[in-house]
């Protein structure tokens, strides 16, 4: 069995062993979304106007929450340092890990957002735009939150620090996605912005794994 | 199987941690078939030396070469088992070993019975005792075909029988032309090894 | 040849001794410039015919805002030096600059907000410049927080270096996206444009203060670097000797 | 070109109508600059004292 397939099956088995890792962010997302009408007003016009933005922010938080597990448990078990002895470059393995993370941990979160959209009475066409922006933007977000997780591996009580450190870097993505949603709301052309968002994701997915592997290498070198 | 002849040349290796010099100007050559025990009191830098040779720590000063080429190009030749568990608690014994070694299931089951974990292949690692977990990590010694073994405290939590099994495995590895470096506080009885004392070098 | 000046920076002792003198020079120079510039700006510069006296805040706000952005770049330069030449002093500089950078960013945010009150009638508007300054403050905080979380100073330095480099690549993207976002959501009516023709009696004190704040930042960074160098080199012979004679 | 822009010192301190905004900001600026200077000096002093303590401890341990 090739190393790539081994990593993939291992990830699947880990999910089967710890279903909470996937369920908790979804739970979190739905909980935050349910809080919005309670904190604001059950007025559906108001909700539909801010709903898509709320879902975006909540997804962002949920995404960062589950990125914390990306490397932490493998690092403290000493499995992560074994990656260096496998006959693949570390960058490649990091890239694979980020891809599996996106597939198994981020995609479920995106798939749940229509339900969140329905309960916040977001109009269907906006909801569709929301889904598209999430699918296009999350690769970049996954890479950056992975970097946050990798940078804070070395600190014993990192907790939410990875989130705090990486959040400012999400600004361009959030702004572009919001631009798409605004245009979708008044029915104008969203394609140019989506292309820009996609470009950002592609660039991030190309370069950030290199930085992530450097950060991991650094933290392995410092632990004992 | 017999390994290609291999040598590790360490020259002028020095390391400082937290402003303390752990070892200074350490030079030695390890050849095929050699078993080296790194000894010394706690904090003498045993783990640091092992991790440096394994390429996990950056070399501060000095060089380590394997068969004349720099260390970083030869990491696949190394099997490193540190004192972290090296296994994932939430996975079964078999799944752990499958991922790390890439061996097939039948071979792994044979290995597991060799290390006294027969019938445990479907157990989660967190259900095992500490010694059994250690056996699971050490089972990789029977699967991976790396000539250089670097084992940090491999004897911890092992019973007498497993210690003997491990000694035998290390001996057969050295006979096949492999190199083994290890640390331990209880000197193993049935093993022929040379010792490097750390902590006395000034 | 000619590289000695650069390699000297690798020696903490050389730096510590020289920095003490530079610090003194910088301190007095900054004090003189700042007193001159601020007094000129506050008392001698003519009143702005549109904004009245509230514009006098720019003699603090503009230099500090310049510094806030320049210091992040300086930090990135230090990160490059740290990774390319493995110079520990660059890491010390990074640590000092992060704190000073955050202080100046916060100061520019507060002064900007207070200036906004008489000018726009409100303390905070989501103006492009204020917003990117706010993000910059968070970036600085991230660097400080990451440093504080990792125990080993070498490792903390490298982790911060990575973060700073990623940040500096992102900074222009953040700036442009925030500007674009600003035009998307509100017409440019609130945007405050610098008047192109400022009389000399207005911009000369501004220039003096910009220079003054830059030198003051240099003074503060040198001071903080000296303290950190002393702390990190506590085991070395020269520090022991220095301290026992003190 | 360089003349005092205010009729009196009181007017200068009032800076009507924006004195409430201008003066606190300059006060804050002064506070930040002096605070940082003070913090640096304190950090330096503490480093020196820590090293001195270490030296003393070593002397008592290793006669």
In chain A, % of residues over pLDDT 70 = 97
Residues from chain C that touch D17, judged by Cβ atoms under 8 A, are: 52-53, 118
Q: What is the number of residues in chain C? A: 246
C187 pLDDT more than 50: no
C139 pLDDT more than 90: yes
pLDDT, tens digit, for every residue of C70-124? 999 999 999 999 999 888 899 999 999 999 999 999 999 999 999 888 888 888 8
pLDDT, tens digit, for every residue of A187-205? 888 898 999 999 999 999 9
Average pLDDT, chain D: 87
> Stretch A109-131: mean pLDDT, rounded?
91
Count Cβ neighbours within 10 Å for each residue of B155-193 and write b for 16 or more, e otherwise.
Answer: beebeeebbebbbebbbebbeebbbbbbbbeeebeebeb
- Which residue is it, tokens 């403290």? A76
pLDDT computed for residue A1 by the predictor: 75
Question: Could you state, in chain order, the average pLDDT of each consecutive group of 10 residues for chain B (202 residues)?
Answer: 84 78 85 90 86 87 86 84 88 91 88 88 89 91 89 89 91 91 84 79 44
Name the closest residue on chain D to residue C223, using Cα atoms: D40
CA distance B19 to chain C (A): 7
Q: Is there a contact between B30 and B4 (Cβ–Cβ < 8 Å)?
A: no
Q: Give the separation between CA C89 and CA C66, rounded to whole angstroms.
A: 24
pLDDT computed for residue A41 by the predictor: 81
Measured on CA atoms in the order C32, C33, C39, C42, is the torsion positive or negative? Answer: negative
Residues from chain B that touch A220, judged by Cβ atoms under 8 A, are: 56
Q: Hey, where are the domains in chain C?
A: 15-187+201-245
pLDDT computed for residue C226 by the predictor: 95
Q: Which of A13, A17, A82 sits opposite B100 (nearest CB)?
A: A82
pLDDT level of residue D8 (50, 70, 90 thresholds) = confident
Q: For C170-229, what is the HEC assignment?
A: HHHHHHHHHHHHHHHHCCHHHCCCCCCCCCHHHHHHHHHHHHHHHHHHHHHHHHHHHHHH
B106 touches chain C (CB under 8 A): no
pLDDT computed for residue C197 by the predictor: 64
Helix crossing, A171-185 with A44-67: angle to 10°? 150
- Which residue is it, tokens 């909470």? A20
H helix or E strand, kind and range, residue B66: strand B61-66
pLDDT computed for residue C62 by the predictor: 93
Interface test with A, best of C83, C142, C157, C164 (most A CBs within 10 A): C142
C190 pLDDT more than 50: no
CA distance C27 to chain D (A): 10
- Which residue is it, tokens 């997302």? A29
Count Cβ neighbours within 10 Å for each residue of B138-148 and write b for 16 or more, e otherwise.
Answer: bbbbbbbebbb
pLDDT computed for residue B170 by the predictor: 92
Residues from chain C that touch B18, judged by Cβ atoms under 8 A, are: 152
In chain C, % of residues over pLDDT 70 = 92
C191 pLDDT more than 90: no
Nearest residue to C34 via CA among C55, C60, C56: C60
What's the first-to-final CA gap in chain D, in angstroms? 72
pTM score, whole prediction: 0.90
> Stretch C6-22: mean pLDDT, rounded?
85
Q: What is the dihedral of CA B103, B104, B106, B107, to 10 degrees?
A: -20
Q: Of residues C127 and B97, which shows the higher confidence score? A: B97
Q: Is there a contact between C243 and D60 (Cβ–Cβ < 8 Å)?
A: no
pLDDT, tens digit, for every residue of A99-119? 999 999 999 999 999 999 999
What domains can you pick out in chain B, each with its CATH number? 7-87+145-197 (3.40.50.300)
Cβ count within 10 A of residue D10: 8
C235 touches chain B (CB under 8 A): yes
> Stretch A17-36: mean pLDDT, rounded?
91
- Nearest 5°: the CA angle B64, B70, B71 is 65
pLDDT, tens digit, for every residue of C16-51? 999 999 999 999 999 999 999 999 998 888 887 777
> Stretch A81-95: mean pLDDT, rounded?
91
pLDDT computed for residue C2 by the predictor: 60
pLDDT computed for residue D62 by the predictor: 60
pLDDT computed for residue C1 by the predictor: 46
In chain C, % of residues over pLDDT 90 = 56
């Amino acid at each position: 069995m090739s190393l790539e397939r081994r990593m993939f099956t291992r990830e699947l088995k880990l999910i089967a062993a710890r279903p909470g890792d996937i369920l908790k962010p979804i739970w979190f997302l739905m909980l935050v979304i349910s809080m919005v009408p309670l904190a604001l007003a059950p007025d559906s016009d108001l909700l539909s106007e801010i709903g898509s933005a709320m879902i975006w922010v909540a997804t962002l938080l949920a995404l960062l929450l589950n990125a914390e597990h990306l490397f932490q448990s493998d690092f403290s078990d000493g499995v992560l340092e074994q990656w260096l002895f496998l006959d693949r470059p570390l960058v490649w393995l990091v890239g694979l890990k980020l891809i599996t993370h996106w597939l198994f941990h981020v995609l479920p979160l995106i798939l749940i957002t229509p339900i969140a959209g329905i309960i916040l009475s977001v109009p269907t066409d906006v909801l569709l735009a929301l889904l598209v922006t999430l699918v296009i933007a999350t690769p970049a977000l996954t890479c950056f939150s992975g970097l946050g997780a990798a940078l804070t591996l070395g600190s014993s009580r990192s907790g939410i620090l990875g989130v705090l450190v990486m959040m400012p870097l999400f600004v361009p993505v959030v702004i572009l996605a919001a631009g798409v949603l605004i245009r979708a709301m008044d029915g104008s052309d969203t394609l140019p912005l989506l292309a820009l968002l996609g470009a950002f994701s592609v660039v991030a997915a190309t370069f950030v794994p290199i930085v992530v592997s450097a950060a991991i290498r650094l933290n392995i070198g410092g632990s004992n | 199987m017999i390994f290609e002849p291999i040598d590790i040349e360490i020259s002028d290796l020095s390391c400082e941690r937290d402003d303390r010099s752990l070892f200074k100007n350490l030079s030695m050559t390890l050849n095929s078939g050699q078993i080296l025990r790194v000894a010394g009191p706690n904090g003498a830098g045993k783990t640091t030396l092992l991790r440096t040779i394994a390429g996990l720590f950056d070399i501060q000063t000095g060089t380590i070469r394997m068969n004349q080429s720099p260390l970083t190009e030869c990491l696949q030749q190394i099997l490193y088992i540190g004192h972290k568990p090296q296994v994932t608690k939430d996975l079964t014994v078999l799944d752990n070993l499958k991922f790390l070694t890439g061996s097939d299931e039948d071979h792994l089951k044979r290995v597991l019975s060799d290390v006294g974990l027969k019938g445990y292949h479907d157990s989660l690692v967190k259900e095992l005792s500490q010694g059994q977990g250690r056996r699971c990590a050490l089972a990789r010694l029977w699967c991976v075909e790396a000539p250089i073994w670097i084992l940090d405290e491999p004897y911890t939590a092992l019973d007498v029988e497993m210690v003997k099994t491990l000694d035998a495995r290390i001996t057969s590895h050295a006979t096949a032309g492999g190199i083994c470096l290890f640390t331990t506080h209880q000197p193993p009885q049935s093993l022929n090894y040379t010792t490097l004392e750390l902590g006395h070098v000034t | 040849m000619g590289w000695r000046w650069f390699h000297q920076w690798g020696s903490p002792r050389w730096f510590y001794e020289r920095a003490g003198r530079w610090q003194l020079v910088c301190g007095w120079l900054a004090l003189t410039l700042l007193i001159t510039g601020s007094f000129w700006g506050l008392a001698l510069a003519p009143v702005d015919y549109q904004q009245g006296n509230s514009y006098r805040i720019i003699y603090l706000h503009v230099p500090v805002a310049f510094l806030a952005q320049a210091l992040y770049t300086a930090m990135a330069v230090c990160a490059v030096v740290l990774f390319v030449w493995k110079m520990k002093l660059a890491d010390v500089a990074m640590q000092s600059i992060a704190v000073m950078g955050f202080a100046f960013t916060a100061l520019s945010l507060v002064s900007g907000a207070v200036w906004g009150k008489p000018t726009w009638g409100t303390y905070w508007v989501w103006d492009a410049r204020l917003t990117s300054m706010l993000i910059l403050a968070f970036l600085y905080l991230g660097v400080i927080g990451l440093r504080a979380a990792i125990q080993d100073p070498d490792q903390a330095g490298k982790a911060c270096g990575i973060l700073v480099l990623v940040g500096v690549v992102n900074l222009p993207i953040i700036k442009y996206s925030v500007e674009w976002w600003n035009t998307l959501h509100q017409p440019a009516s609130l945007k405050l444009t610098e008047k192109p023709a400022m009389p000399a009696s207005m911009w000369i004190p501004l220039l003096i203060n910009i220079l003054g704040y830059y030198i003051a930042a240099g003074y503060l960074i040198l001071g903080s670097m000296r303290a950190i160098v002393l702390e990190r080199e506590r085991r070395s012979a020269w520090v022991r000797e220095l301290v026992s004679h003190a | 070109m360089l003349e005092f822009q205010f009729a009196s010192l009181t007017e200068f301190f009032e800076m009507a109508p924006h004195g409430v905004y201008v003066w606190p900001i300059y006060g804050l600026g002064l506070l930040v600059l002096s605070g940082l200077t003070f913090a640096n000096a304190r950090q330096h002093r503490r480093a020196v004292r820590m090293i001195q303590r270490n030296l003393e401890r070593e002397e008592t341990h290793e006669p």
